[in-house]
Amino acid sequence: MERFKKIIIYVIPCILVYITSCLTTLSHELGHSITAYFFDIKNNPFDLNYSTKIFMFGISENVDYNKVSKLIQYKAILISAAGLIVNFIFAVSIIILLIFFYRNLNKFICYVLYLFLFWNTNEFFNYFIIRNIFLRGDVANIVTYGIPHIYVLIFGVWFSLILVYFLFLKVKKNLFKIFNLTQNQCVKFTKIIVLSFVVCQILTLYNYS
């Protein structure tokens, strides 16, 4: 029985990490797709491409960017930036909840919200910082459709660092308070969070190298 409990304790958080990661990716791609639908580029806003790889939940927005390039500039930019806007809105909303209202939420909800904050911050940071090195993905489209790269870089770095600050400091402290973690536990879990974040960025670098 004790062994079963230990398995549950470790397995459930891993499942939640995977689910929140998938949902974050889904919301990002829906941001692009719904905006494209709104500007008459797609007939169905929920028409996405899904990966069938084991243990992966690959999704793409299934937007024809050749058609997007023919739109008025602001529409093309909005379609390209929609996924990142969704990530930012979700991240800021969760930050507000976990700073001002965390005492009114139970532990499970706080944990799930923090996972969503982690993945949305990771996605935002990844696009604006890591992919900016190679000018790939959404940022490349935004630059292609008329926003100077230096402006995109300054905006992205500034707001990415703000989200990272809250993820690793203020919000994280409140989460640890909720779970009444000891000092040693706080240090241990902080290392896990930081390492996980860094690994996500390195994997992107590896894919583009």
CA dihedral for 129, 167, 28, 101, sign (positive or negative):
negative
pLDDT computed for residue 14 by the predictor: 82
Higher-confidence position of 10 and 21: 21
The reported pLDDT for the residue numbered 50 is: 74
Closest to 156 measured CA to CA, from 204, 182, 115, 124? 124
The helix/strand/coil state of 147 is: coil
Distance CA 114, CA 13 (A): 12
User: Is the confidence at residue 56, as pLDDT, over 90?
Assistant: no
Lowest mean pLDDT among 9-23, 84-98, 134-148: 9-23
89-112 exposure pattern, b = at least 16 Cβ within 10 A, e = fewer: ebbbebbebbeeebeeeeeeebbe
Token pair belonging to 68: 């997007």
The percent of residues above 70 in pLDDT, for the chain, comes to 90
Q: What is the pLDDT of residue 201?
A: 87
pLDDT of residue 206: 64
pTM of the model: 0.90
Question: Do residues 171 and 98 make contact, with C-beta atoms less than 8 angstroms apart?
Answer: yes
Least confident of 1-5, 87-91, 126-130: 1-5
152-201 pLDDT, tens digit per residue, is: 889 989 999 999 999 999 899 999 988 888 889 889 989 999 999 998 88
Q: Under a CB-based contact definition with an 8 Å cutoff, are residues 33 and 47 in contact? A: yes
Statement: residue 92 has pLDDT above 90: yes
CA distance 20 to 90: 12
Cα 185 from Cα 88, distance rounded (Å): 29
CB atoms within 10 A of CB 164: 16
189: CB partners within 8 A, 6+ apart:
176, 181
- pLDDT beyond 70 at 208: no
What is the H or E stretch that residue 59 is in? Answer: strand 59-60
Cα separation, 120 vs 118, in Å, equals 6
Among candidate residues 172, 169, 175, 168, the one with its CA nearest the CA of residue 198: 168
Tokens read off for 145: 């459709």
